[in-house]
Amino acid sequence: MNTAFPFPSPGRRADRTRSRRTRRIVPALLVVLFTLWAGPGAAQDYCGTTAACMDQLRFGETHSAREIAAQRLGEMGSEEAYDVLVEALVEDAGEFVRANAALALGRLGLPRAVEPLTAALNDDRREQVRRTAAEALGVLDAAAAVAPLAAALQGDEAWAVRRAAARALGLYETAEAERALAAALTGDPRTEVRLEAARSLARVAPGQSAPLVQALREDADPAVRRAAAEALTHVGDGTATEGLVAALREETQREVRRTIDTVLGERRDRQAVAPLVSTLRDDPALEVRAAAAVALGNMGGKTAREALKYYAAESQFQPVRLAARDALETFNEAPPPERPEPDGAPPDGAQDGGQTPAAQQ
């Protein structure tokens, strides 16, 4: 006979007792660990007014107190704190105090902050401070910041500082920023810097594709080539499409080819239809062929529709058939955007051309 015992077994009672003790002990242990890490005065380091934070930044007895004060002054955004922040940036012994003071000066948005931030970018011995000074010069949005940022991008020994300078220069649409970013994109030894330069260059010079195309076709790192392709999405001149098509034929990495397919589809330049049809037919990677189908659906036009109909019905590869069918369901009927055409572009009526898949066989 199966009889249920109405009370928990001794073993279960012991397990529950240990569980309750654990629930009480763990939070208390976390509090102790935080106190040891942050210091017993961490709760007192928070300052609530501009005046209190200024005093704490000048006279705080710990680096932590002064770091918090500098951060709070940036959040408050009071111009009254400018002189105290500059003093901290120049004189404080704490690396992170100086870094927070730099960021706070950027958030104040005062053009006169360019001078002390430039001095920190050029002369501070700590990489963290120089990096945050570069970030602050970008936030500051002052034309005088472009020259020191360009110099840091070209010459700072720390790649993280150069990357921050590249990111900051992406906020300045000037010829000097464009030149500095183009040089970094094609010449900096660090992948991280070249990646940031590609992204920034697309914002700074949306009508100039040559450095991005060069990076797309020549950079040794696939990540940079992908970033250059993505940056070409909204670059306005017609030579960008020519560069993307050439790279699509040359590229050995499937992820980069897939990115190029996507970018060509988003650009909707009809001179890319025939190369995309060839990719849809011939690429050895099914995911690249599927991306070409999606791109043709975005592209629109008669040839794109004919190609998609063919592969939706006849392809022996399921991923290609499904991608072609999906592209037909969302086919873009809108006319392509007008773009400046490169020299020697085919006349109207020939740009979505190429032959149909049946004629190409």
The answer on pLDDT for 8 being more than 70 is no
pLDDT in tens, 242-301: 999 999 999 999 999 999 999 999 999 989 999 999 999 999 999 999 999 999 999 999
The answer on pLDDT for 86 being more than 90 is yes
Q: Which two tokens stand for residue 343?
A: 């020299």
Residues 64 and 70: their CA atoms lie apart, in Å, by 10
Please, which pLDDT band fits residue 16 given cuts at 50, 70 and 90? Answer: low
Is position 195 within any domain? no
pTM exceeds 0.75 for this model: yes
* Average of per-residue pLDDT across 27-51: 59
Is position 254 within any domain? yes
Residues 6+ apart with CB under 8 A from 206: 234, 235, 236
For helices 254-267 and 286-299, give the axis angle rounded to 10 degrees: 10
Is position 299 within any domain? yes
Q: Which two tokens stand for residue 136?
A: 């602050």
Is position 73 within any domain? no
Share of the chain above pLDDT 90, in %: 75
pLDDT in tens, 53-69: 999 999 999 999 999 99
* 308 contacts 334 by C-beta, under 8 angstroms: no
Is position 235 within any domain? yes
Is position 194 within any domain? no
* Average of per-residue pLDDT across 294-319: 96
pLDDT in tens, 88-146: 999 999 999 999 999 999 999 999 999 999 999 999 999 999 999 999 999 998 999 99
Task: Give the type of residue at 336.
Answer: P
* 338 contacts 237 by C-beta, under 8 angstroms: no
What is the distance between the terminal CA atoms of the chain, rounded to a whole angstrom?
79
Taking each continuous run of H as one helix and of E as one strand, the counts in the chain are 20, 0
Please, which pLDDT band fits residue 20 given cuts at 50, 70 and 90? Answer: low
Share of the chain above pLDDT 70, in %: 81
Instruction: Give pLDDT, residue 11.
Output: 56
Instruction: Give pLDDT, residue 45.
Output: 77
Task: Give the type of residue at 1.
Answer: M
Residues 94 and 267: their CA atoms lie apart, in Å, by 49
Q: Which two tokens stand for residue 49?
A: 């007014």
Residues 361 and 356: their CA atoms lie apart, in Å, by 9
Residues 266 and 226: their CA atoms lie apart, in Å, by 15
pLDDT in tens, 333-356: 888 776 554 444 443 333 344 443
Is position 165 within any domain? no
For helices 302-314 and 273-282, give the axis angle rounded to 10 degrees: 10
Give the domain extent around 216: 206-342+349-361
Question: Domain containing 237 — which CATH number?
Answer: 1.25.10.10
Domains contained in the chain, number: 1
DSSP code, position 45: G
- Residue 126: count other Cβ atoms within 10 Å of its Cβ: 15
pLDDT in tens, 187-220: 999 999 999 999 999 888 877 789 999 999 999 9
